[in-house]
Structure 1
Amino acid sequence: MSRWPWWVQVSGLYIAARLVSACIFMAAALHQGVNPWFPAKPDYWNFINIWDARWYAEALQHGYPALLPTSAEGIVQENAWAFYPLFPMLGRVLSGLTGTGPAWSLTVIALVAGLGAVLVAYRIFRHRAGHRTALWGVVFLAAFPVAPVLQVPYAESLNLLLLGGALLLVMERRYLWAMPVALLMCLSRPTGVPLAATMGLLFLYRLWQRVTAQRKTVQGETVPGIHSNAQLWSLAGLTAASGIGALLWPAIAWASTGDPGAYTKTETAWRGDDLVPFKPWFDTGVMLFGPTLGVLAPFVLVAAFTLLMMSRPVVALGTELRLWCCCYMGYLLVFLHPQTSTFRMLLPLFPLALSAALVSRSRAYRGTVVVMFVLLQIVWIVWLWAWAPLPGGGDYPP
């Protein structure tokens, strides 16, 4: 494969990884019992079109409700407003052009977007590593334990493609081109807030570099690579565009339903509690580790992630990618309700796949990581994707 063009190599690795995941899905489907969606032992296509895939299909076919569904107590119930519109919109266009159903069109979009995401990821990785290491980073990304979500009708692959595109353009300082990509990304999944925070902090950092460089220039020193005024203004514009994009979908939900909290009320309907920043992490910590260790657990997590961000393989990612990872993790700590779906929500931290490849050039190490990831794919699919009723009803979501 080494003589093939880079995009052929990356595409081949992605397709191979998705075939492995498809085999795991099909094997798990053979053991799928009675469930809320279809008879036992479904085929592959039925098996991957469950969980949130049904909500995206609902948004594709029927749009979003003008009135929020509520219980007898007036509490907002689960509905399609929690699912961002770009993915089902593209599915509706493809279904209209091909005459196929939502399951097929959304699956095709997810697969193709996943391919585009790994191609963009390779381009990002090449800015920080050689060809071979960048390829290993792609392998780690494609084989990640939750990477099977890239081939099911979820918006993760589309969001990953747009996020990667925005980060690539930012690394290449093409901030104006990144604006429409960032706006589209904000309509695919709720990743606009951490992107806006990343761009804002990056703007302040580049501005500080510019001021420092001007002082050194007065002293007769030359500082290469400093942003021009035009680049700084463009980065400020990208920050503003990302901030607007982050608020766009909640604003649309408000305008459509007349309820200013339509999006947040819908999003928290799955939690059963109101949105209180940070609190769910402490609640989950207490539930898992007890009243003492549970309170300390979030602080230990933050400390461990801080050490990770300071490690040599992560520092090698550069300012833009490290800032994104820090802001996204901060966003999860503030707003996320930690549960089994948290594993899937770690996928936007994809730059760390390159860091994992930079840890060692040993084939034994890299091969072991891939094998471990594939084994954990089996755990993720069998434990979380396959449905099995819990004693109290329902099941853990993937």
Structure 2
Amino acid sequence: MSAARSVQATGTSEPTLNDRLFAALSRFLAPVGRAPWWLHVTLLYAGARFVSFVIFTAAGWQAEASPWGGQRPGYLEFINRWDAGWYEKIFNHGYPDSIPRNPDGSAQPNEWAFYPVLPVLARGVHAVTGLGWAASGALVATLAGFGAALVIYKLFRNFAPAATALWGVAFFATFPVSPVLQVPYAESLGMLFLAGALHLLIRRNYWGAMPLVILLCLSRPAGVPFAAVVLLHLFLRWRNRDSSPFPRRDMLSGGLLLLVSVFMAVAWMLVAWWVTGDRSTYTDTETSWRGTELVLFKPWFDVGIELAGPFWGPLLPVLLVGLAGLYLNSRAVRRLGPELQMWCGMYLLYLLAVLHPQSSTFRMLLPLFPLALAAAFISPSRAYRWTVVLMFSLLQIVWIVWLWQYAAIDTGVGWPP
């Protein structure tokens, strides 16, 4: 009997080259599969940040001269743009004793719009290593991003098995605006403290959440929606106290967490008032970029009218709220639990109230990171999940080339990221 007939008779065949390569790759990756969860998250996040590094570097080679440097800047010079320049001023000189004003009395943009934790930590790195602002700020932001990814994984594990939680972290790490997590901005610090505070709130560790809330509110303006979530969380515990005990010690510590959250929501405004003697320092500074006073919710209707005219324009924010409400009540988002669902809703409401919608709005959506886990819940299909990661990674190119560059390659117009 020939060899071919012998193989056919026994039902076996010689392994192909692809089979051998797959087997070798499986043996090579086997130790990674047995590695602890924190190593999985670290490797995943490092890979995502390397992709962003490559995109930044390639975009820098195409960049024209800007207020922050000349043509073809290197990586550190290229990422030290936009708001990073304001943090650099704080790093070098601190905050001004008074805010600069125009002849008509309106405030000029100044450092008081930016929170102190990032430049303070960068000063600490500088004191230890001698590194300048660009390297110190980027190092703090990048390390905080790694920490945020680890804490987000632990947060997601409250609601999902390990594999799904890891996919949620992958969506967060590759989100189109995720490159901001490695530049000298405070977003990565905000994500680290926010994820930790939400995790401890869900675990009912109110004492542990308090210092994280303080750090969060001195890193990014997130105190108002977080205080609202704490209030709703305590209300739900009180309402369900017959079926789920709400002991007095939790009432006390939870109430104190609520007070801390409410106070920290306005703490930076009070600090600015105390230093400058002007009680409207913070609000005037924040609105100096838009050129108008703060009127809650109005900017969204104004932009709607600019985009769609006086008839359809006012309906755009209403449509946006309706679509957001439908999604936040979808099955995938409900699986996040009431606290994360409430956080997403309260944060969106906060943005609708105070934000002037423009190109930086995309970056402002990053605190909605719990929706990354909801996106993983939509389908367990690997094809779907890898497609999301691939599309997010490609959209990073759009974000960096369109917004991060001072003058975009295609239009020659710069928009703040």
Q: Same fold (TM over 0.5)?
A: yes
Which residue pairs with 2:344 in the alignment? 325
Which residue pairs with 1:233 in the alignment? 252
**Structure 2 residue 195 is matched with structure 1 residue 164:** yes
**Structure 2 residue 262 is matched with structure 1 residue 243:** yes
Deviations 1:146-175 (A, max 9, x none): 000000000000010000110010111100
Distance 2:58 2:261 in 1: 42
C-alpha contact 2:405 2:414 (8 A) present in aligned 1: no
C-alpha displacement of 1:71: 1.4
Which residue pairs with 1:66 in the alignment? 97
Which residue pairs with 2:129 in the alignment? 98
Which residue pairs with 1:376 in the alignment? 395
C-alpha contact 1:206 1:232 (8 A) present in aligned 2: no
Q: Name structure 2 gaps, 5 residues minimum.
A: 1-31
**Secondary structure of the corresponding residue to residue 376 of structure 1:** helix
C-alpha displacement of 1:93: 1.4
Q: Which of 292, 301, 311 is the matching residue for 1:273?
A: 292
C-alpha contact 2:227 2:262 (8 A) present in aligned 1: yes
Deviations 1:95-115 (A, max 9, x none): 112111111111000000000
Which residue pairs with 1:309 in the alignment? 328
Q: Which of 31, 35, 39 is the matching residue for 2:62?
A: 31
C-alpha displacement of 1:228: 1.8
Question: Kindly tell me: are residues 109 and 75 of structure 1, through their superposed partners in 2, closer, same or farther at Cα, counting changes over 3 Å?
Answer: same
Distance 1:349 1:145 in 2: 13
Counterpart AA for 1:347: L
C-alpha displacement of 1:233: 2.2
Which residue pairs with 2:165 in the alignment? 134
**Secondary structure of the corresponding residue to residue 356 of structure 2:** coil
**Secondary structure of the corresponding residue to residue 88 of structure 1:** helix
Deviations 1:244-301 (A, max 9, x none): 1111100000000010000000011111111000000001111112212210011111
Distance 1:78 1:307 in 2: 37
Q: Name structure 1 gaps, 5 residues minimum.
A: 214-222
Distance 1:318 1:135 in 2: 18
Distance 1:200 1:130 in 2: 29
C-alpha contact 1:60 1:88 (8 A) present in aligned 2: yes
Which residue pairs with 1:186 in the alignment? 217
Q: How big is the alpha-carbon RMSD for the aligned residues of Structure 1 and Structure 2?
A: 1.4
Which residue pairs with 1:362 in the alignment? 381
Counterpart AA for 1:360: S
Deviations 1:208-263 (A, max 9, x none): 112xx2xxxxxxxxx3x432222122211111100111111000000000100000
Distance 1:21 1:393 in 2: 23
C-alpha displacement of 1:393: 10
Question: What's the % identity of the aligned pairs?
Answer: 52
Distance 2:236 2:315 in 1: 32
C-alpha contact 1:14 1:142 (8 A) present in aligned 2: yes
C-alpha displacement of 1:333: 0.6
C-alpha contact 1:85 1:187 (8 A) present in aligned 2: yes
Counterpart AA for 1:282: F
C-alpha displacement of 1:200: 1.1
**Structure 2 residue 348 is matched with structure 1 residue 348:** no
Counterpart AA for 2:293: D
Q: Rg: which structure is higher?
A: 2
Counterpart AA for 2:289: W
Distance 2:108 2:195 in 1: 33
Q: Which of 71, 74, 86 is the matching residue for 1:40?
A: 71
Distance 1:285 1:227 in 2: 45
C-alpha contact 1:389 1:395 (8 A) present in aligned 2: yes
Question: Kindly tell me: are residues 168 and 183 of structure 1, through their superposed partners in 2, closer, same or farther at Cα, counting changes over 3 Å?
Answer: same
C-alpha displacement of 1:201: 1.6
Question: Kindly tell me: are residues 389 and 124 of structure 1, through their superposed partners in 2, closer, same or farther at Cα, counting changes over 3 Å?
Answer: closer
Distance 1:292 1:119 in 2: 47
C-alpha contact 2:63 2:73 (8 A) present in aligned 1: yes
Q: Which of 128, 149, 165 is the matching residue for 1:118?
A: 149
**Structure 2 residue 315 is matched with structure 1 residue 284:** no
Distance 1:279 1:177 in 2: 37
Distance 1:209 1:233 in 2: 17
Distance 2:310 2:368 in 1: 30
Distance 1:396 1:292 in 2: 27
C-alpha displacement of 1:41: 1.0
Distance 1:175 1:15 in 2: 32
Distance 1:204 1:306 in 2: 21
TM-score computed with the length of structure 1 as normaliser:
0.95
Question: Kindly tell me: are residues 2 and 227 of structure 1, through their superposed partners in 2, closer, same or farther at Cα, counting changes over 3 Å?
Answer: farther
C-alpha contact 1:77 1:269 (8 A) present in aligned 2: yes
TM-score computed with the length of structure 2 as normaliser:
0.90
Which residue pairs with 1:148 in the alignment? 179
Question: Kindly tell me: are residues 389 and 361 of structure 1, through their superposed partners in 2, closer, same or farther at Cα, counting changes over 3 Å?
Answer: closer
Question: Kindly tell me: are residues 372 and 255 of structure 1, through their superposed partners in 2, closer, same or farther at Cα, counting changes over 3 Å?
Answer: same
